[in-house]
Amino acid sequence: MDLDRGKIIISGGKPLKGAIPVSGMKNAAVAIIFSTILTEDKCIIENLPNISDVKVSLDILSSVGVKVRQLGPNTVEIDSSVVNPGIAPYELVNKMRASYYLIGAELGRFGRAYVGLPGGCDFGIRPIDQHIKGFEALGCDVKVEGGYIEAAAQNGILRGSSVYMDVVTVGGTINVMLAAVRAEGYTEIENAAHEPHIVDTANFLNACGADIRGAGTDTIKIRGVKKLHGVTYTIIPDMIEAGTYMILAAATGGQLTVTNMIPKHVESITAKLEEMGVSIEEDGDSVTVSRRAPFLNHVNVKTLPYPGFPTDMNPQMCVLLSLARGTSHLTESVWESRFRYVEELKRMGARITVNGKTAEVEGTPSLRGARVRAVDLRAGIAMVIAGLAARGVTEIDEIHHIFRGYEDLISKLKAVGADIKVIVPKATEYEDY
Ligand code: EPU
């Protein structure tokens, strides 16, 4: 299906009600898929979200000779006994950011890697200097030339070392962890990122026989092991998908029970929603979300590394602030430019002024449907939330971004009462999907 030219059509303004399940976490899945290269064995990965970033990650593995077998809609068997490092096609790795994990995984397994520079959402400059610094500390020579990164350790042997991250980076922390898992000796990553997907990746590697301690804290300690073995492993639920549906309930004034999630992972989101006047009732692995009053209160929000408010919830939160009473401030402190979606939201009647890293959001009682673009993944889902909350019809273009990260989005939303569909072009006209 040609989603690149497809559109989402929403007839908004209906409160959504019912249960909405959360799929496996995208950013854990992509890290774990590449980590399987370190095992030389078969792994079965369960609860993999059926999204395009996972598909591209598996295609990249296949392109380097790994055997990938789909065992069910959310389960794959990955057999990494044979890997041909150095031949991943640029067109594939350039499609997504997480392809940089191929570098750490190949270095960990072979002591060398040759991989195209990663693509992904455009938030301004997306450097990988901290990844490179970590690889160099482990004894690698690293060159970046002609759109490729080439790294190799002397005699193919990486040596454990102490690595201090100058900025808190999710990808940098995971990549250095991958490279260090089979290095000789002991590695310490200091000022490490704390995100749940870092813990999930470390748990996967430990289940394969790695010796990683402290994942989820500032300091990750890795004692290199000679070999890893295969396992069956289940990916944790996606905290950003969970947070997205929590905001959707509040934005549409409905009541959603978000199921199959880990409430602890969304504490920063829960805290802000409660401050806005949203009721959140936790019950085991689900939360039920609804407004306590017809109005939402304005709040100030600043994105931060975990356990702070996630940058990947910035656009969704901006939609909710647009519907609150009074003026809110939303400050982005992780990415350089994450407000590209603001112009789209303004077409729907939102009143937002961006000054550098802060958006001033003046609440309005309602948004109105319009034709908008999904400028990136989280910006795209924010347009879906805005469209479902708005009066009238919203038409969203460039929707391939959205399907990079949200499994079964349309059917999950229809099941809670949304009037939403995807249309894809067929020759000269559009047909329903
Ligand atoms: N940074 C550096 N140098 C580096 C690496 C990062 O300066 O070597 C800076 C970045 O420029 C940014 C900050 O550090 O300002 C954080 O970047 P980080 O490395 O943590 O981001 P990432 O690993 O590339 C992951 C997620 C993103 C999410 C960020 C922040 C994956 C595949 N991607 O990216 O998720 O926004 O962490 O939490 O895990 C998304 O899912 O929509 C998404 C974009």
Q: What is the pLDDT of residues 35-65, one digit of tens each?
A: 999 999 999 999 999 999 999 999 999 999 9
Give CA–CA dist 70/44, Å, rounded: 10
> 188 and 116 share a domain?
yes
CA 122 to chain centre: 14
Give CA–CA dist 245/20, Å, rounded: 8
Q: What are the DSSP calls for 282-300, one per residue? A: EETTEEEEEESSSS-B--E
Q: Let me know: does 393 contact 10? Beta carbons within 8 Å.
A: yes
For the chain, the domain total comes to: 2
> 282 and 382 share a domain?
yes
Per residue in 381-411, pLDDT (tens digit) is 999 999 999 999 999 999 999 999 999 999 9
Q: Let me know: does 43 contact 32? Beta carbons within 8 Å.
A: no
> 176 and 247 share a domain?
no
Backbone angles phi, psi at 263, to 5 degrees: -55, -30
Report the mean per-residue pLDDT for the chain: 94
What is the pLDDT confidence band of residue 317, given thresholds at 50, 70 and 90? very high
Place of tokens 């990916």: 235
Per residue in 243-294, pLDDT (tens digit) is 999 999 999 999 999 999 999 999 999 999 999 999 999 999 999 999 999 9
pLDDT at 97 over 70: yes
* Per-residue DSSP letter, 303: B
From the CA of 393, how far away is ligand 1's center (Å)? 34
Q: Let me know: does 243 contact 206? Beta carbons within 8 Å.
A: no
Q: Which of 214, 232, 250 is the last residue of a domain?
A: 232
Nearest CA, atom 27, ligand 1: 312
Give CA–CA dist 60/40, Å, rounded: 17
Q: What CATH number is associated with residue 256?
A: 3.65.10.10
> 177 and 69 share a domain?
yes
From the CA of 142, how far away is ligand 1's center (Å)? 20
Ligand 1 neighbours, Cβ below 6 Å, are 26-27, 30, 97-98, 121, 126-131, 167, 169-172, 193, 311-312, 334-335, 377-378, 405
> 70 and 215 share a domain?
yes
Nearest CA, atom 36, ligand 1: 312
Give CA–CA dist 362/373, Å, rounded: 22
From the CA of 26, how far away is ligand 1's center (Å)? 14
> 179 and 276 share a domain?
no
Nearest CA, atom 19, ligand 1: 169
CA 116 to chain centre: 20
Q: Which of 169, 198, 232 is the last residue of a domain?
A: 232
From the CA of 171, how far away is ligand 1's center (Å)? 6
Residue 311 lies in a domain: yes
> 243 and 217 share a domain?
no
* Dihedral over Cα of 307, 310, 316, 321: its sign: positive
SS3 content of the chain, % helix, strand, coil (to 5): 35, 30, 35
Residue 254 lies in a domain: yes
Structure tokens at 214: 């402290």
What are the residue ranges of helices labelled H in 86-149?
Answer: 90-93, 101-110, 129-137
From the CA of 95, how far away is ligand 1's center (Å)? 16
> 206 and 294 share a domain?
no
From the CA of 169, how far away is ligand 1's center (Å)? 6
From the CA of 168, how far away is ligand 1's center (Å)? 9
Using most ligand atoms within 8 A of CB, pick from 60, 167, 269 the residue to mutate for ligand 1: 167
Using most ligand atoms within 8 A of CB, pick from 25, 56, 130, 170 the residue to mutate for ligand 1: 170
pLDDT at 95 over 90: no
> 413 and 327 share a domain?
yes
Nearest CA, atom 2, ligand 1: 127
Locate the ligand 1 atom nearest the alpha carbon of residue 129 and give its number: 8
Locate the ligand 1 atom nearest the alpha carbon of residue 335 and give its number: 15
Using most ligand atoms within 8 A of CB, pick from 34, 334, 375, 403 the residue to mutate for ligand 1: 334
> 249 and 169 share a domain?
no
Locate the ligand 1 atom nearest the alpha carbon of residue 124 and give its number: 11
Residue 214 lies in a domain: yes
Distance from the first to the final alpha carbon of the chain: 9
* Cis-peptide into 307, omega within 30 deg: yes
pLDDT at 324 over 60: yes
Which of 29, 69, 72, 71 lies closest to 49, judged by CA? 29
Residue 427 is predicted with a pLDDT of 60
Amino acid at 57: S
Using most ligand atoms within 8 A of CB, pick from 25, 27, 33, 129 the residue to mutate for ligand 1: 27
Q: ∠ CA 322-327-328 to the nearest 5 degrees?
A: 75
List, in order, residues 6 or more apart from 288 with CB less than 8 Å away.
Answer: 255, 256, 257, 258, 279, 280, 281
pLDDT at 4 over 80: no
Nearest CA, atom 24, ligand 1: 171
Nearest CA, atom 14, ligand 1: 169
Residue 315 lies in a domain: yes
Locate the ligand 1 atom nearest the alpha carbon of residue 171 and give its number: 23
Locate the ligand 1 atom nearest the alpha carbon of residue 310 and give its number: 38
What is the pLDDT confidence band of residue 93, given thresholds at 50, 70 and 90? confident
Give CA–CA dist 218/189, Å, rounded: 8
From the CA of 125, how far away is ligand 1's center (Å)? 11
What is the pLDDT confidence band of residue 5, given thresholds at 50, 70 and 90? confident
Residue 429 is predicted with a pLDDT of 58
Catalytic positions, please? Answer: 121
Residue 334 lies in a domain: yes
Residue 31 lies in a domain: yes
Structure tokens at 248: 């959707």
Place of tokens 């519907």: 323
Residue 2 lies in a domain: no
What range does the domain containing 276 cover?
7-22+237-432
List C-alpha distances in Å: 39 to 33, 49, 251: 11, 22, 44
Least confident of 199-208, 210-219, 334-343: 334-343
Residue 41 lies in a domain: yes
For 172-198, what is the mean pLDDT? 98
Give CA–CA dist 32/323, Å, rounded: 38
How far is it between the farthest Cα atoms of the chain? 66
Q: Which of 192, 213, 232 is the last residue of a domain?
A: 232
Locate the ligand 1 atom nearest the alpha carbon of residue 133 and give its number: 8
> 127 and 257 share a domain?
no
> 183 and 303 share a domain?
no
pLDDT at 99 over 90: no
Residue 120 is predicted with a pLDDT of 57
Per residue in 327-341, pLDDT (tens digit) is 999 999 999 889 999
Residue 2 is predicted with a pLDDT of 66
